[in-house]
A = this chain, B = another copy of it.
Amino acid sequence: MAFINENYLKLQGSYLFSEIARKVREYKEDNPNAPIIRMGIGDVTKPLVPEVVKAMHLAVDEMAVASSFRGYGPEQGYDFLLNAIVTNDYKKRGIEIGTDEVFVSDGAKSDTGNIGDILGTDNIVAVTDPVYPVYVDTNVMAGRAGEFVNNLWNKLIYIPCTAENNFIPEIPKQKFDIVYLCYPNNPTGTTLTKAQLKTWVDYAIENKVLIMFDGAYEAFITEDDVPHSIYEIEGAKQVAIEFRSFSKTAGFTGTRCAYTVVPKELMGYTKTGEKVPLNKLWNRRHTTKFNGVPYVIQRAAEACYSEQGSLEVKNVISYYMKNAKIIKDGLEAQGLKVMGGVNSPYIWIKTPKGMNSWGFFDYLLKELNIVGTPGVGFGPSGEGYLRLTSFNTLENTIEAVERLKKISL
């Protein structure tokens, strides 16, 4: 008799964004002409930049001819891409990362989800709250989250990030083995300074804690004191895995490329305290359960690093960040409390008039035809907040801000 992984039965409801999609679909069925502006799911809207398009066409043509055709590539990624990553994302910031410490993949969702494979199921996991749901759900699946009691997973440690602590996570008093840190943060759009991140790295070194550092929004950083990589912090290679993605950086949400850095000096531990390099374990996982990113897509990712390519990609980011400023300024002018939007495409709004998150979501959808993401969908400390994204056209953003002026405080 084939037995299931019963942890799956503990998962709550459906995945947040599916739920939002359902609500929007139902509203549209009743109101087919409603001029809906989607600022919910963090999906980009600008097309791929010309240099990326050019690289993809070239690569497709290579695949059409026997002499340049590529079959299986290295599961970890082609050298041309690994070198581009190591040089541009690390060396240029004074960080030494070897190409054998980088693993190219199809997405940070896959990587942050799959990384748990190489870790024991009885690690104590801490997450900031609110949080990207994938970290929590994949730990539920692995049995690390315990039971869902009073809207909380009783084996997870929640680290509240709210207006009360200025969205700066405090190191939990309880013992924990793994912590997920996403900065610039999804969903709040907030950041940590180097000094703030250093307190986490120092604590992790001292306590052999593993930091899962999700830097998917690194490209949106505009302020000087915000680290682009956790490896800017001394000693971080001993304690942190870093996840990066081309999804938001270069509009690859439908093109799919990301990478994970697992430094060689980063250790995990056996029950008897023996050290095991996590790089070796992840390499084994990656080569056994994955067969590499399509050649054409790796060439697309490489193109983001050329002189012209990086210029084009940066222009798109600037476009989104201009939108973010318009949203932030517009909402603040109305007296709303707003976080993010400076080093992040996300704007995190305190719901007005004591509305709860889904109440404000429904209000925006039905009254203003704007789709946001209810903050509570990201965890209990997200209640009373709502996330908007700047991944839209300038025109839609301006129109949305006009509509948002109708919120009477």
Of the candidates B1, B57, B137, B289, which one forms a contact with A138 in the assembled complex, judged by CB atoms under 8 Å apart? B289
Q: Please give, as numbers and ranges, the residues of chain B lying within 8 Å of A293 by CB-CB distance.
A: 256
Q: Are A6 and B254 in contact (CB under 8 A)?
A: no
- With an 8 A cutoff between CB atoms, is A98 at the interface? no
Docked complex: A56-87 residues within 8 A CB-CB of B? 56-57, 60-61, 63-66, 69-73
Residues 262-276 of chain A, each 1 if its beta carbon lies under 8 Å from chain B, else 0: 000000111101001
Which residues of B are found within 8 Å of A207, using beta-carbon distances? 1
CB distance from A312 to the nearest CB of B (A): 12
The segment out of A7-15, A24-32, A357-365 that lies at the interface is A7-15
Contacts of A141 in B (CB 8 A): 117, 285, 288
B2 touches A255 (CB 8 A): no
**So how many copies of this chain end up in the complex?**
2
B72 pairs with A253, CB closer than 8 A: yes
Cβ of A69 and Cβ of B43 under 8 Å apart?
no
Minimum Cβ distance to chain B for residue A294 (Å): 5
The size of the chain A interface, using a CB distance under 8 A, is 83
Q: Which residues of B contact A18 (CB under 8 A)?
A: 287
- Establish whether residues A177 and B46, one from each chain, have CB atoms under 8 Å apart when the complex forms: no
With contacts A4-B269, A253-B291 known, what are 7 further pairs, Cβ within 8 A?
Answer: A1-B273, A4-B281, A46-B66, A50-B64, A69-B254, A137-B288, A256-B291
Closest 6 CB pairs of A and B: A113-B289, A2-B210, A3-B120, A4-B268, A43-B71, A70-B254
A interface residue numbers (CB < 8 A to B)? 1-6, 8-9, 11, 15, 18, 41, 43-48, 50, 53, 56-57, 60-61, 63-66, 69-73, 106-107, 109-110, 113-114, 117-123, 134, 137-138, 141, 177-178, 207-210, 251, 253-256, 268-271, 273, 276, 278, 281, 284-285, 287-297, 393
